[in-house]
Structure 1
Amino acid sequence: MSLSHEAVATAEFPVAETEASRGLPSYVVGQDGQGRWIALESHGLGGYFRSREAAFHYAVSQTGRRAGAVRLSAEPLRIAL
């Protein structure tokens, strides 16, 4: 059984290292002072969500499910308008 070119490339260059070197975004998920759920991207973008689950779903999908790319904040978050 032979490995495909893609499988070999993935084995030689782990995805996590490649993504980190590109400076891909990470997110912080938490609530604002009024209890609304927010996902804030590391480069300053953010949005409001109906629930914690919705905020996490968005952040996880935007980061490609990278380990450690989404954190939960214990402190209130704020979106600067």
Structure 2
Amino acid sequence: MPYVTEPPQLIRVDAASRPEFIVGQSPEGWWLAVETHGRGGGIFRDRDSAIAYVAEETGSMPGSVAIATAPVALKM
């Protein structure tokens, strides 16, 4: 999937190159797709479903999603 990048650690992302979504697992094991601007996201059973959601939301734009290597939280 060419629109997915997997940085070694997602702690800080430069605002100019920031992806639109971060996909990762919650501490409970759910897969999350979280918009970096905090306006959208979702909870999914598996990674493929989360990435499919992001691909639909972003039109599969290259660099639009990053895969987190640490637990991710969905803030509501």
Normalised by the length of structure 1, the TM-score is 0.65
Shift of 1:50: 1.4
Aligned length: 57
Counterpart pick for 2:63 among 64, 68, 71: 68
**After TM superposition, which residue ranges in structure 1, 4 or more long, deviate above 6 angstroms?**
none
Q: Give the match's secondary structure for 2:33.
A: strand
Coordinate RMSD, CA, aligned: 1.3
Question: Where do residues 19-58 of structure 1 align in structure 2 (5 Å cutoff)?
Answer: 26-44=20-38, 45-58=40-53
C-alpha distance in 1, partners of 2:59/2:72?
Answer: 23
Q: Larger relative contact order (C-alpha < 8 A, sep ≥ 6)?
A: 2
Please give the secondary structure, in 2, of the residue aligned with 1:55. Answer: helix
The structure with the larger Rg is: 1
In terms of fraction of residues, the more helix-rich structure is 1
The percent identity for this pair of structures is: 39
Which segments of 5 or more consecutive residues in structure 2 lack a partner in the other structure? 1-18
- Cα distance in 2 between the residues matched to 1:46 and 1:54: 12
- 5+ residue gaps, structure 1, are 1-24
TM-score under structure 2 normalisation?
A: 0.69
Q: Give deviations 1:12-55, integer Å, cap 9, x for gaps.
A: xxxxxxxxxxxxx7111000001110000122122101110000
